[in-house]
Amino acid sequence: MSGKRGNGEGSIYSYKNGYAAYVWVTKPDGKRARKYAYGKTREEVHGKWLALHAAAKKGPVATRHRTVAAFLGYWLDTIVKPNLAPLSYVSYEGYVRLYIAPHLGRKRLDKLTVRDVREWLTVLAEVCQCCAQGKDAKRDASRRRCCAAGECCESFPSRRVVQGARDALRAALTHAVTEEEIGRNVASLVKVPKPRRRRVKPWSASEAGRFLADAAARDDRLFAAWVLVLCLGLRRGEVLGLTWESVNFETGELYVDHQIQRAGRQLLHRETKTEDSDDFLPLPSLCLKALRMRRAQQLGDRNAAGELWQDSRGLVFTTKYGTPIEPGNLTRMFALRSRRAGLRVIPLRNTRHTCGSLLVALQVHPKVAQRILRHSQIAMTMEVYAEASEEEVRAAIGKLSDAVGGTTG
């Protein structure tokens, strides 16, 4: 075949050991540039040239493609970090650094296929993370006991971790599609088995009453926190993020709008996740009395600490020296107090269901309980009320009242 261009072949020319062609395209940033195509034969290049023309007519075309690792770094720094919650950034960054970049980082973003993602997830589930991350090797030589010593501990990722890694890649590629760097999100086309959630039976009102009675009898420093968790259904971060400005003793209300979160190396006092989480909650007399006790207790801590006291923006729950309480420590203390009271240990987050039963015991009106539990429909609240045994909850609250010396504040 001669070197002369055929009709419709446009800018096809000889290049090294084959042929090349280019098409003027509009890049994602709005600028015009040449996009090149290469091949060994004129027919091959002509086909690519026609495809480029078709792509250029549909919209912007990227002229340079980043690797998966380069794009993920850009996505984390310019999209996730400025726009999402700090905890979301920490989570995504961990998935990228530990699970995605080591396997897929070197691949070109536009060349990533469904098969690549599927094979990555299969391999990821079978890779010992102690070996991959060198966890045992980072220990002192005297403390190495598994992977670094030649005995793999088979610390494979759980289904939840594998799903989280896939979800992180999918979120990043969704943005790549939005910025028109790629045409489709291949990660969204790969299905992963859903992790099975282990159901934990929440405490009954009687068990919650035993827990609070034991805490009151032992003069537990966190008694007020346990009361708010069990009687108002507050989440861990919401309890730790409460300030005295949020408590109105005169009107008997509590305003929930902040939380304490651990995000990597930072302990953050920030707004709640959504506006729906913010609300004025009516305080039953038991909660008011517990908070008054907590205020007196904190004042005693301040006087005892003297110059060592650190003011943490008026937080209700602090250490003996005024510093914020670590969320993880509150979870561990809840488990410890549960064992001490002779109760089965449940996750702290499971106490919201128990809250409904205690509200029945406190004779809180269903509409008020709906606000406290932050249910969207009153029917949900009435189901909780229907499940609670009247005799059981009255007996539980009676024991609790005796332990704290009555519920009037």
In the chain, the percentage of residues whose pLDDT exceeds 70 is 84
At residue 41, the 3 state secondary structure works out as: coil
Question: Reduced to 3 states, what is the DSSP secondary structure of residue 307?
Answer: helix
Instruction: Please state the φ and ψ torsions of residue 266, each to the nearest 5 degrees.
Output: -110, 140
Of the segments 51-60, 163-172, 365-374, which one has the largest average pLDDT value? 163-172
- Give the separation between CA 39 and CA 237, rounded to whole angstroms: 59
Q: Are 261 and 87 spatial neighbours (Cβ–Cβ below 8 Å)?
A: yes
Could you tell me if 289 and 404 are in contact, meaning their C-beta atoms sit under 8 angstroms apart? yes
Q: Among candidates 223, 217, 227, 202, which has minimal Cα distance to 359?
A: 227
- In this structure, what DSSP letter does residue 306 have? G
Instruction: Give the number of other Cβ atoms within 10 Å of residue 29's Cβ.
Output: 9
Instruction: Write down the pLDDT at residue 408.
Output: 41
Query: Alpha-carbon dihedral of residues 61, 63, 64, 68, nearest 10 degrees?
Result: 20
Alpha helices, DSSP H, located in 108-232: 114-124, 129-132, 159-178, 205-217, 223-232
Of residues 76 and 274, the one with the higher pLDDT is 76
| pLDDT category of residue 209 using cuts at 50, 70 and 90 | confident
pLDDT of residue 272: 65
> What is residue 111's DSSP assignment?
G
Range 223-238 average pLDDT: 89
Is 60 exceeded by the pLDDT of residue 8? Answer: no
Rounded to the nearest 5°, which phi and psi values hold at 263? -125, 95
Q: What is the mean pLDDT of the chain?
A: 83
In tens, the pLDDT along 348-360 reads 888 877 777 667 7
Instruction: Give mean pLDDT, residues 217-230.
Output: 92
Residue 134: the pLDDT is 87
pLDDT at 113: 95
Asked if residues 372 and 232 have their Cβ atoms less than 8 Å apart, the reply is yes
Give me the pLDDT at residue 59, please: 78
Q: Are the CB atoms for 327 and 240 separated by under 8 Å? A: yes
Q: Where are the domains of the chain?
A: 12-58, 68-189, 205-404
Q: Is the pLDDT of residue 1 over 70?
A: no
Q: What is the percentage of the chain residues whose pLDDT exceeds 90?
A: 37
- CATH number of this structure's domain 205-404, picked from the four choices 3.60.20.10, 3.40.720.10, 1.10.443.10, 1.25.40.10: 1.10.443.10
pLDDT at residue 2 tops 70: no
The closest of 241, 231, 208, 228 to 337, measured between CA atoms, is 208
Pick from 333, 334, 327, 329: nearest CA to 348? 334
Which tokens belong to 280? 């004025």
306: left (phi over 0), alpha (psi -120 to 50) or beta: left
Give the number of C-alpha atoms closer than 13 A to the C-alpha of residue 53, restricted to the C-beta side.
Answer: 11
Q: Of the segments 16-30, 55-69, 122-136, which one has the largest average pLDDT value?
A: 122-136
C-alpha neighbours within 13 Å on the C-beta side of residue 33: 12
For the ranges 21-25, 136-140, 317-321, the one whose mean pLDDT is highest: 317-321
Per CATH, 68-189 and 205-404 having the same topology is answered: no
- DSSP annotation of 315 reads B
- The per-residue pLDDT for 396 is 56
Residue 398 confidence class, pLDDT cut points 50, 70, 90: low
Angle formed at CA 200 by CA 199 and CA 204, multiple of 5 degrees: 140
Report which of 24, 27, 33, 171 is spatially closest to residue 91, judged by C-alpha positions.
Answer: 171
Nearest CA among 361, 330, 360 for reference residue 348: 330
Conformation bin of residue 322: beta by default, left when phi > 0, alpha when psi is -120 to 50: left
pLDDT of 233: 83
pTM more than 0.75: no
Question: Which residue type occupies 231?
Answer: C
Domain 68-189 homologous superfamily, CATH: Tyrosine recombinase, N-terminal domain (1.10.150.130)
pLDDT at 298 over 60: yes
pLDDT interval class at 405 (50, 70, 90): low
Q: Give backbone dihedrals phi and psi of 319, rounded to 5 degrees, phi first.
A: -75, 180
Give CA separation, 194 vs 1, 158, 161, 167, 174, in Å.
Answer: 57, 11, 11, 12, 21
Question: CA-to-CA distance for 31 and 79, rounded, in angstroms?
Answer: 22
- pLDDT(327) > 70: yes
